Chains A and B, each alone.
Chain A
Amino acid sequence: MPGAAQVDTNPTDVTSIHGAALSRRGFIGAGGMLMVTLGLAPGLARAAAGAKLDATRPASWIEIHADSTITMRTGKCDFGQSSIYTAYRQVVAEELSVPVEAITTVISGDTDRTPDGGGTFALLQNAAGNMRKAAAYTREAVLELAAQRFGVPRGAVSVADGVISGGGKTARYGEIVAGADLHLAIPVTGRLGDIIGLAVAGNPPLKKVCDYTVIGKPVVNPILRPKVSGQTQWVGDVKLPGMLHARAIHPATLGSTLLSPGKLDQTQFPDAKLVQVGNLLAVVAPDEWQAVQAADAVAATTRWTAWNGLPTSDKLAEHLRGAVNWAEVPTTKSAAGKGDVTVAGAAKAHAAGYFMPYLKHAPIGPTVSLADVRRDGSVTVYTHSQNPQCLRTAIALMLGAGEDKVVIRTYPGPGHFGRSNGGNAGSEDEAVLLSRALGVPVRVQWMRHDDMAWSTQSSAMVSDIRIGLAADGSIRTYQATHSGPPMQDDRPIGALLAGLPTITAPDLDSKSPIYSPIMGVADQWVYGAVPNVLETGRGTLQIGQRESPLKVGLRDHSMRTPIQFQQNFPREVAISEAAMLAGCDALQFRIDHTTDPRVKAVLEHLRAESGWDTRSSPAPHASAAGDQVVRGRGVSMMLRDNGYWACAAHISVVPATGEVKVDRMTLVADPGIVINPLQLKRQAQAGCLMGISEALHEEVSFDSGAITSIDWSSYPILTMAEVPELKIVIAPFAGVEIYGQGSESANALAAPAIAGAFLDATGKPARRIPLRPKYVKAMLA
């Protein structure tokens, strides 16, 4: 494609395809291609022009090649969801009416090779819709060309299974584009560096859901074979000539500044160098093991200021309840609010406080990045970001450079569940600063303790819930107040330590809707039959951020179902407690309080599939004491991204020891259109098991200055031995024509179902996680 640009400025002819511009730049001898590019509104042109360093490589969504193979591109990345290699290909193949195998190449993430940007989240809900529309425009353009070729009206042309037919003639996609240099510029809105990225605009005709043949098939993930055979190059595997290995020496606390760097013994570590950029301290060496050892030695003698700005994890709930001034940040109310929750005359009342601890994304591999800053100011970062365009913006801002100078190349890396969906996972900016300082490529590999102590975390929440029951046992009033720190800090830590510019923190004066301390109510209300409802969100700054001289403190970041998990747990546990108070079955009680047929359907499926015994809690042999095993079952429910999910947990508890064991989990999902049942099942299974991990084990501990969960013994997660019997039931509600989401709800629902089962087994509520023996014994005391 010689000299191709994003928007054709001198086309030989232009045809409008439902608002997209199809142009033919002439004919070329061999090959031929239809390339789908960005059609930009005038104000957006600059942002997109910076999308690439190499102007001869146009950013393109979909390329149809002369041999009928198809390349598709997405700014999103894979972190184990498989969606961009399975569901995305199915969505594009479906709209084009080609076999899914025709899409032979998926180019992902790289800022100079993909068009749309945006974070890797809500893949099926948001981003797949973009691919669907881009494919629909493409199909319409090719069918228009086919009509011209066949000499028939457009209405006489159709396509099925990759074959285009009309007027008695047939051709494959490749034959229509062969020999031509075709460009289709589709209309888009949004901004490349935004967290959501660009969206495809307009309304091309979409294939009817009832005509689907590719969506709904269990397409396998094509990247797994190269991964398990060892052929895939992962982010940590990239090597460049002259590259140095770096280990950062992070401050002693989340508020400590550097007093004096430790001594680097050059006789012991002859090839190592110490680099300091503000409070960012690192050791580099050509040999990785030497860098590790030298950094350990230097760290031992490095002096930092003392800082004690954290409340400690033991006193966190107390701090959130007593020490935070919740009046600093405007409160919010949910859209579910109605009636008057102060109405008198409740026959029975439930009022309780709930607590969710800080959690870690905790990827199995600590973050690792490689940066190459050249003398000409160009920067290439090799990393595993969930939002490469946002990372690019952050790196350019940190360096005071134009975004056109920065390219982010992405590689497979460890799943980290949202931590980098606004750009950085942790090491990228440090690699850039060290490479700039040394003039050679630098690879920064965080050690386990760096990744635990210096990454962001999913933030804590306290909730107060009051439920008033009418004389007939139905809920008359529901009142919830959710209070917690914000959940999205995308400031790179290396830039903060170095004292360089960053994007805004979630501060009081932040104008950003994303980087904001305002606490919304994220958990969608599903109990529409309750007459009086009031849900309030109260926000504050990140704990310790204001007090930290580094402006660091406990930096928070979204994880899987951010905020919704923290608000759904107290709601669902409180509903189970209210059901017990009313003398009702916890599952039937939920059905009785909904007006949404999809809620009812998913709960009725759950009752049948889980072997649910309908009765009130506690269980007949429930006990809060003794060394005999007691058993119980609990239920939870979540509506998220138009997907309805419900979960039943069957557990065993030994009251005397505080041991909780999950015996059986049943999960029912109604996600709307199921794009790939095989991958959905795998995602739901794993999401649910990770949820058990959070319910039983996980809590970030910290002292008055630093995170003390620094390895897998101080931050334990679920092991294979604890895996229960697990049943996933996919039961889409008939007639729902939207793509539903994957495993996030499965992840969130485990904890409230387990807590409901705990209530059933012991008669005592579990109003916090994790259900570690220490906390369980306190709950039962």
Chain B
Amino acid sequence: MTTLTVNGEKRMVTASPDTPLLYVLRGELNVMTPRFGCGLAQCGACSVLADGEEIRSCVTPIAALEGKEVTSVDGLPARWARHNGLAPDPSRLHPVQQAWVDEQVPQCGICQFGMMIKVTELLEHNARPTDAEIKAALTTSGPSPHLCRCASYAAIMDGVHRAAQIMADGSAS
């Protein structure tokens, strides 16, 4: 048995400790937003936060995550509420998700779960990133670039700036 903390909940899992987190999230825990893209840490579709740092769940064994807080896109709204002392509201999205809707960012959307995780990590460390900082975060800061085959990158750039604005407005109010 391995104990994981996923989106604020303690979960006991029976999978062997060397099983990559992605298969445990999707198979055993029904946390479906991390996507299988390559299984090689080359694309970022499976990204989740582990204690606030982006990791690739397709290559990270669960043994490495005991005692760490794992957050997928499903858990972003509660994470935002907790960090900002907001009452739970099931209709409220995380600012990054809201920005992705406001700016109509996704095309097919399969990469966007990893994109939103990476952008959340970025904005938690850097509230007002420049274009160059956004490009660096999504290209060179992790094990590989975050890839979008639809090439929605221009919309992603708009989305990150919008999210930063929503966050600034949210913490000011």
Assuming A224-B109, A236-B36, is B145 touching A719 (CB within 8 A)? Answer: yes
Q: Does the CB pair A413–B32 fall under 8 Å?
A: no
B154 neighbours in A (Cβ, 8 Å): 685-686, 689, 723, 726
Q: Does residue B35 face the partner (Cβ distance < 8 Å to A)? A: yes
Closest to A694 in B: B151
Q: Does the CB pair B108–A723 fall under 8 Å?
A: no
Q: Does residue B111 face the partner (Cβ distance < 8 Å to A)? A: yes
Of A368, A712, A726, the contact of B42 (CB 8 Å cutoff): A712
Closest to B35 in A: A365
Q: Does the CB pair B149–A717 fall under 8 Å?
A: yes
Stretch at the interface among A35-43, A226-234, A371-379, A428-436: A226-234
Q: Does residue B168 face the partner (Cβ distance < 8 Å to A)? A: no
Q: How many angstroms from the CA of A721 to the CA of B137 in the assembled complex?
A: 9
Q: Does residue B146 face the partner (Cβ distance < 8 Å to A)? A: yes
Q: How many angstroms from the CA of A236 to the CA of B74 in the assembled complex?
A: 17
Q: How many angstroms from the CA of A504 to the CA of B140 in the assembled complex?
A: 46
Closest to B24 in A: A289
Q: Does the CB pair B104–A80 fall under 8 Å?
A: no
B134 neighbours in A (Cβ, 8 Å): 720
CB of A501 to closest CB in B, whole Å: 31
Q: Does the CB pair A682–B139 fall under 8 Å?
A: no
**Interface residues as binary, A59-92 with B (CB distance below 8 Å gives 1, 0 otherwise):** 0000000000000000000011110000000000
Q: How many angstroms from the CA of A686 to the CA of B33 in the assembled complex?
A: 23
Q: How many angstroms from the CA of A229 to the CA of B116 in the assembled complex?
A: 11
**Interface residues as binary, B28-51 with A (CB distance below 8 Å gives 1, 0 otherwise):** 000011011111101101000000
Assuming A415-B149, A712-B42, is B108 touching A79 (CB within 8 A)? Answer: yes
**Interface residues as binary, B89-117 with A (CB distance below 8 Å gives 1, 0 otherwise):** 00001000100110011111111110010
Assuming A228-B73, A230-B32, A237-B32, is B149 touching A362 (CB within 8 A)? Answer: yes
**Count, chain B residues at interface, CB 8 A:** 56
Q: Does the CB pair B136–A721 fall under 8 Å?
A: yes
Q: Does the CB pair A80–B36 fall under 8 Å?
A: no
Q: Does residue A364 face the partner (Cβ distance < 8 Å to B)? A: yes
Q: Does the CB pair A682–B15 fall under 8 Å?
A: no
Which chain A residues (105-133) contact chain B, with CB distance < 8 Å? none
Which chain A residues (217-231) contact chain B, with CB distance < 8 Å? 220-221, 224-225, 227-230
B32 neighbours in A (Cβ, 8 Å): 230, 233-234, 237
CB of B13 to closest CB in A, whole Å: 12
Q: How many angstroms from the CA of A233 to the CA of B20 in the assembled complex?
A: 22
Assuming A289-B23, A720-B134, is B151 touching A686 (CB within 8 A)? Answer: yes
**Interface residues as binary, B136-161 with A (CB distance below 8 Å gives 1, 0 otherwise):** 10111000111111111111110000
Q: Does the CB pair B45–A365 fall under 8 Å?
A: yes
B136 neighbours in A (Cβ, 8 Å): 721
Of A368, A690, A711, the contact of B151 (CB 8 Å cutoff): A690
Q: Does residue A366 face the partner (Cβ distance < 8 Å to B)? A: yes
Which chain A residues (402-432) contact chain B, with CB distance < 8 Å? 412-415
**Interface residues as binary, A706-745 with B (CB distance below 8 Å gives 1, 0 otherwise):** 0000011100011111010010000000000000000000
A726 neighbours in B (Cβ, 8 Å): 154
B148 neighbours in A (Cβ, 8 Å): 364, 720
Assuming A718-B151, A720-B156, A723-B157, is B37 touching A365 (CB within 8 A)? Answer: yes
Q: Does the CB pair B36–A412 fall under 8 Å?
A: no
A362 neighbours in B (Cβ, 8 Å): 149
Closest to B114 in A: A364
Q: How many angstroms from the CA of A611 to the CA of B153 in the assembled complex?
A: 23
Q: Does the CB pair B147–A719 fall under 8 Å?
A: yes
A692 neighbours in B (Cβ, 8 Å): 151
Closest to B109 in A: A227
Of A415, A688, A689, the contact of B108 (CB 8 Å cutoff): A415
Q: Does residue A445 face the partner (Cβ distance < 8 Å to B)? A: yes
Q: How many angstroms from the CA of A448 to the CA of B26 in the assembled complex?
A: 18
CB of B28 to closest CB in A, whole Å: 9
Q: Does residue B135 face the partner (Cβ distance < 8 Å to A)? A: yes
Q: Does the CB pair A689–B151 fall under 8 Å?
A: yes
CB of B105 to closest CB in A, whole Å: 8
Closest to A237 in B: B32
Q: Does residue A703 face the partner (Cβ distance < 8 Å to B)? A: no
Q: Does residue B19 face the partner (Cβ distance < 8 Å to A)? A: yes
Q: Does the CB pair A228–B149 fall under 8 Å?
A: no
CB of B17 to closest CB in A, whole Å: 12
CB of A415 to closest CB in B, whole Å: 4
Q: Does the CB pair B104–A679 fall under 8 Å?
A: yes
Q: How many angstroms from the CA of A721 to the CA of B148 in the assembled complex?
A: 12
B147 neighbours in A (Cβ, 8 Å): 364, 712, 717, 719
Q: Does residue B67 face the partner (Cβ distance < 8 Å to A)? A: no
Q: Does residue A471 face the partner (Cβ distance < 8 Å to B)? A: no
CB of A21 to closest CB in B, whole Å: 39
Q: How many angstroms from the CA of A236 to the CA of B35 in the assembled complex?
A: 9
Q: Does the CB pair B39–A448 fall under 8 Å?
A: yes
B157 neighbours in A (Cβ, 8 Å): 720, 723
Q: Does residue B27 face the partner (Cβ distance < 8 Å to A)? A: yes
B38 neighbours in A (Cβ, 8 Å): 448, 711-712
Q: How many angstroms from the CA of A719 to the CA of B149 in the assembled complex?
A: 9
Q: How many angstroms from the CA of A129 to the CA of B80 in the assembled complex?
A: 45
Q: How many angstroms from the CA of A682 to the CA of B155 in the assembled complex?
A: 7
**Interface residues as binary, A355-367 with B (CB distance below 8 Å gives 1, 0 otherwise):** 0000000111110
**Contact sample, A vs B, 7 pairs, CB 8 Å cutoff:** A224-B105, A227-B106, A288-B23, A289-B23, A364-B45, A364-B110, A682-B155
B residues at A contact (CB < 8 Å): 15, 19-20, 23, 26-27, 32-33, 35-40, 42-43, 45, 72-74, 77, 93, 97, 100-101, 104-113, 116, 134-136, 138-140, 144-157
Closest 3 CB pairs of A and B: A80-B107, A415-B108, A80-B108
